[in-house]
């Protein structure tokens, strides 16, 4: 399994990686039915094991899986740095994929103490969490981060559509993107699950040692609590979402120092927390 190394316009992986499939459909338009075929995004079980201990099963798109394993480990505070991510091996099984990760044994013991053996879905990052404190986890306050003129937010958003080849084909995936402070897209990752797309992006950034204080995060989804939590955990200070935030996401962003923006469009956006990082939209 090879991960993409570039940000955008990179080809969709071969169908051998099963990221999308063709299926027969009946199209109805202007009173007529047409027999046709459509590209459908794949969604498969993905089992994550740490030091041979089963931890979580997610539903995900089978691409950029090594990025996902590293990003999930960081965003869920299973490890503190990419240096603790010793190795990952990807195994294709009949039912899906198994990711076998090696991390320091002390980190595995900490997982057991948290009592998190969760079974997740692509739309849910908390399914199966056993303890309330595991849900409402407050990351440390983020650093100062960059100052970004509003126009640069819009520049990144304008470039994002063409940087999502799988969504262009299927219309079924979310994207998480990293842009520099000038609004230039640096990395993009896609998945049927918004949490998975963000974890893939975080992993890709960690592998390339991308500094989190040099840019901002763009999400093609709502800004839920879990998305802000993952971003703050790795130190991202500016989160831009095309849809709305939740009240709990705003609360977490306020308390961790994250600038949270929702309803981001080509010419407009709404700032919910810490507006001092954002210049005027025309600046």
Cα within 13 Å of Cα(216), Cβ side: 29
Calculate ∠ Cα 192-195-196, nearest 5°.
60
Residue 135: band (very low, low, confident or very high) from pLDDT cuts 50, 70, 90: low
Please identify which residue in the block is written with the tokens 């084909």.
169
Q: Tell me the average pLDDT across 155-175.
A: 95
Q: Where in the chain are the domains?
A: 44-135, 150-277
User: What CA dihedral angle connects 248, 78, 206 and 163, to 10 degrees?
Assistant: -50
pTM higher than 0.85, yes or no? yes
Beta bridge pairs of residue 41 = 20
Mean pLDDT of the chain: 88
What are the distances in angstroms from CA 65 to CA 19, 149, 235? 11, 34, 22
Residue 279: predicted pLDDT: 81
pLDDT at residue 116 tops 80? no
Residue 6: band (very low, low, confident or very high) from pLDDT cuts 50, 70, 90: very low
pLDDT at residue 235 tops 80? yes
150-277, what's its fold?
Cytidine Deaminase; domain 2 (3.40.140)
What distance lies between CA 99 and its chain's CA centroid? 17
The percentage of residues in the chain with a pLDDT greater than 70, rounded to a whole number, is 85
pLDDT at residue 126 tops 70? no
* Catalytic residue list: 124
Residue 117: predicted pLDDT: 43
How crowded is residue 83: how many other Cβ atoms within 10 Å of its Cβ? 9
Please identify which residue in the block is written with the tokens 């691409």.
63
Residue 7: predicted pLDDT: 56
If one compares 10 and 202, the residue with the highest pLDDT of the two is 202
User: Tokens for 268?
Assistant: 């407009």
Q: Decide: 72 and 198 in contact? Cβ < 8 Å.
A: no
Assigned architecture for domain 44-135? Roll (3.10)
The predicted-structure confidence for 221-234, as pLDDT tens digits, reads as follows 999 999 999 999 99
Residue 5: predicted pLDDT: 39
């Amino acid at each position: 399994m090879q991960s993409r190394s570039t940000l955008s316009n990179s080809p969709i992986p071969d169908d051998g990686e099963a990221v999308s499939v063709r299926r027969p459909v009946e199209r109805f338009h202007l009173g007529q039915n047409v027999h046709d075929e459509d590209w459908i995004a794949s969604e498969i079980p993905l089992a994550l094991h740490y030091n041979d201990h089963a931890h979580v099963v997610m539903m995900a798109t089978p691409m950029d899986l090594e990025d996902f394993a590293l990003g999930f480990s960081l965003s869920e505070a299973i490890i503190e740095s990419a240096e603790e991510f010793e190795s990952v091996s990807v195994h294709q099984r009949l039912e899906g994929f198994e990711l076998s990760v090696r991390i320091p044994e002390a980190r595995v013991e900490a997982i057991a103490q948290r009592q998190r053996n969760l079974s997740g879905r692509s739309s849910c990052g908390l399914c199966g969490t056993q303890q309330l404190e595991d849900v409402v986890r407050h990351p440390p306050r983020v650093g100062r981060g960059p100052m970004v003129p509003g126009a640069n937010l819009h520049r990144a958003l304008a470039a994002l559509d063409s940087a999502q080849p799988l969504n262009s084909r299927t219309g079924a995936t979310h994207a998480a993107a990293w842009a520099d402070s000038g609004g230039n897209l640096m990395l993009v990752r896609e998945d049927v699950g918004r949490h998975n797309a963000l974890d893939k992006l975080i992993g890709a950034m960690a592998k390339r040692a991308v500094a989190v204080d040099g840019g901002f995060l763009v999400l093609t989804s709502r800004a839920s609590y879990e998305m802000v939590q993952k971003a703050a955990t790795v130190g991202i200070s500016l989160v831009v979402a095309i849809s709305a935030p939740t009240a709990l996401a705003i609360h977490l962003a306020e308390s961790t120092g994250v600038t949270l923006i929702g309803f981001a469009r080509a010419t407009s956006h709404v700032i919910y927390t810490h507006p001092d990082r954002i210049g005027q939209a025309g600046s």
